[in-house]
Amino acid sequence: MQNDGLDLILVGIRTVFGLKSQVAAYRLLPGKRWLLKLNQGRKIMNLGKQSMRLLFVNIFMILGFVGASSAATEVYSIDNAHSSANWVIRHVVSKTSGTFSDVQGKIEIDPEKRWVLKAEAVISVYSIDSHHRERDTHLLTGEFFNAHEFNAIKFTSTDAQSTGKNTGILHGRLTLHGVTKEIEFPFEILGFGPDPWGGYRVGLQAATKLKRSDFGITSGLDMPGGGAVGDDVEVTLYIEGVKLSPDGKELEKK
């Protein structure tokens, strides 16, 4: 190719100056206002001043859209050593709490707007800890989680909306005890920053409320007063994510 022209790549443009939709390389020759198709080396059209302006407007709009859509997001891997899914539920006349300590997944974030675009997470049911070993064993049985058959809780986002600086709502599908329901997860981004090992992290928290009966976990609810264990469950996630490089790996550590 010669260096006396501006090489342009126009991808899939249907009706710019009557050109057919295709992937092709074009050269705009300075001073002549000719658009040449490089792979055929022939003149396609003679552009007037107004057409020249429109051509450059279309080119910059295309390049601007591609740049904005590809460079704005970052992907973080959930660090399950520093993340948890905590829960609170009524026990008789008070409340009891616990956690699931094994949370894994990925989060896609817009760092400029500071909100979550997408998220997927898998929680191991076997990582439950209610601070009472016998109770944990009971919760894993068929009366409650039936962990032998349903050993994971899964969440996949389907949409996201911003509600303010650092806050938003994730809409998605939660699968628990073999049942999938649409839920909302309001979230807050707590901050970004480097870690001591050469990585870069994001901190988030998200909270929602569920009814265990919606997921087929109904043990004791038919007893007077709703039984010893309530139906409403408050869920709070505390997440640390480690930024991934474009190839999907964690940033190089020291």
> Looking at residue 226, what is its pLDDT?
87
In this structure, is residue 253 part of a structural domain?
no
In this structure, is residue 233 part of a structural domain?
yes
- Identify whether residues 193 and 94 lie together within a single domain: yes
> Looking at residue 156, what is its pLDDT?
98
Per-range mean pLDDT, top range of 39-43, 60-64, 201-205: 201-205
Residue 95 in tokens:
């409340």
In this structure, is residue 251 part of a structural domain?
no
- Identify whether residues 11 and 33 lie together within a single domain: yes
- Identify whether residues 87 and 44 lie together within a single domain: no
- Identify whether residues 212 and 194 lie together within a single domain: yes
Last residue of a domain, one of 33, 56, 71: 71
> Looking at residue 72, what is its pLDDT?
75
> Looking at residue 182, what is its pLDDT?
98
- Identify whether residues 100 and 224 lie together within a single domain: yes
- Identify whether residues 51 and 80 lie together within a single domain: no
More confident position, 183 or 51: 183
- Identify whether residues 113 and 222 lie together within a single domain: yes
- Identify whether residues 153 and 103 lie together within a single domain: yes
How does pLDDT run across 174-185, given as a tens digit for each residue? 999 999 999 999
In this structure, is residue 23 part of a structural domain?
yes
Q: pLDDT grade, residue 248 (50/70/90)? A: confident
Q: Name the DSSP letter for residue 17.
A: G
- Identify whether residues 128 and 175 lie together within a single domain: yes
Distance (Å, whole) CA 33 – CA 188: 53
How does pLDDT run across 19-29, given as a tens digit for each residue? 433 434 444 44
CA–chain centroid gap for 225, Å, is: 40
- Whether residue 129 has pLDDT greater than 60: yes
In this structure, is residue 249 part of a structural domain?
no
Single out the residue of 237, 215, 229, 228 nearest to residue 99, CA to CA: 237
In this structure, is residue 250 part of a structural domain?
no
- Identify whether residues 32 and 87 lie together within a single domain: no
Q: Name the DSSP letter for residue 250.
A: B
In this structure, is residue 248 part of a structural domain?
no
| Percentage of the residues of the chain whose pLDDT score is greater than 70 | 71
- Whether residue 118 has pLDDT greater than 80: yes
6-11 sheet: strands from edge to edge = 6-11, 23-29, 34-37, 42-46
> Looking at residue 253, what is its pLDDT?
59
- Identify whether residues 106 and 191 lie together within a single domain: yes
The range of the structural domain enclosing residue 112 comes to 74-243
pTM score above 0.75: no
Q: pLDDT grade, residue 167 (50/70/90)? A: very high
More confident position, 30 or 170: 170
Report how many domains make up the chain.
2
Single out the residue of 109, 107, 50 nearest to residue 80, CA to CA: 107
More confident position, 40 or 198: 198
- Whether residue 240 has pLDDT greater than 90: yes
Neighbours of 240 (CB within 10 A): 20
Residue pair 96/130 in contact (Cβ under 8 Å)? The answer is yes
- Whether residue 117 has pLDDT greater than 50: yes
- Identify whether residues 54 and 129 lie together within a single domain: no
